[in-house]
């Protein structure tokens, strides 16, 4: 019996303290029109929004003031809001894709390592092509020294070799650009993820 009475008293005191801390509920809404005349209603109308209004409690005491709606200001801010929304959407996508900056750093390092391997292979191939070119040029020089015509097969090899050298150089340049772009993109991603952590 004594326990149940204590529980009832505890419940009542919690309810009373909650009621004392609760924000009073708005009952009336008042705005002043262009002539300064007060207009009161039980709901918010477009005129309330246009002029700005006050939320009032039962005792007509101001609970909250709301500024008037300014269409021009809203128009100016709409592009900022759109950019902000787009940034937040992109940040959420990054968060879903990577989780955190450590994962993004690992993925960056893995991708850069793979690109560097491709660059190394292309450079190795370029060195081999250049070595072959030296050998072909020696053969060509030997034919010139002996006063003999250079065989068509050797000319074809030299042309094909030159094309391969140019293609490989372009491939290396492209891979180096990809490396730099990947590095820059991941730096941006990592910094944005760090800002969210």
Beta bridge partners of 56: 28, 62
CB atoms within 10 A of CB 165: 16
Report d(CA 29, CA 71) in Å as an integer: 22
The pLDDT assigned to 13 comes to 53
What tokens does 50 get?
A: 């246009």
List, in sequence order, every beta strand (DSSP E) within the chain.
Answer: 28-32, 38-41, 53-56, 62-66
Beta bridge partners of 41: 29
Report d(CA 57, CA 19) in Å as an integer: 15
Report d(CA 96, CA 160) in Å as an integer: 48
Report d(CA 39, CA 32) in Å as an integer: 6
Report the chain (197 residues): mean pLDDT per 10 consecutive residues: 47 49 77 88 85 88 86 78 87 89 94 97 97 95 93 95 96 97 95 88
Q: pTM score, two decimals?
A: 0.57
Q: Write the CB contacts of 51 (distance below 8 Å, at least 6 apart in sequence).
A: 31, 32, 33, 34, 68
148 DSSP assignment: P
**Torsion-angle region of 99 (φ positive above 0: left; ψ -120 to 50: alpha; else: beta):** left
56 DSSP assignment: E
Measured between alpha carbons, how far apart are the two ends of the chain, in Å? 53
């Amino acid at each position: 019996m004594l326990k149940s009475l204590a529980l009832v008293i505890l419940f009542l005191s919690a309810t009373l303290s909650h009621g004392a801390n609760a924000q009073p509920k708005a009952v009336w809404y008042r705005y002043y029109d262009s002539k300064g005349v007060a207009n009161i209603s039980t709901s918010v109308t477009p005129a309330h929004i246009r002029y700005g209004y006050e939320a009032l409690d039962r005792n007509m005491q101001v609970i909250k003031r709301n500024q008037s709606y300014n269409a021009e200001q809203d128009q100016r801010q709409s592009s900022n809001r759109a950019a902000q929304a787009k940034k937040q959407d992109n940040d959420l996508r990054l968060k879903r894709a990577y989780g955190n900056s450590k994962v993004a750093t690992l993925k960056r390092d893995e991708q850069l390592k793979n690109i560097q391997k491709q660059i190394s292979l292309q450079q190795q191939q370029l060195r081999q092509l250049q070595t072959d070119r030296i050998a072909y040029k020696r053969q060509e020089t030997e034919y010139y020294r002996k006063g003999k015509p250079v065989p068509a097969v050797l000319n074809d090899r030299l042309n094909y070799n030159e094309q391969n050298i140019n293609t490989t150089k372009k491939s290396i340049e492209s891979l180096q650009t990809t490396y730099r772009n990947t590095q820059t993109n991941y730096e941006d991603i990592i910094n944005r993820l760090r800002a969210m952590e």
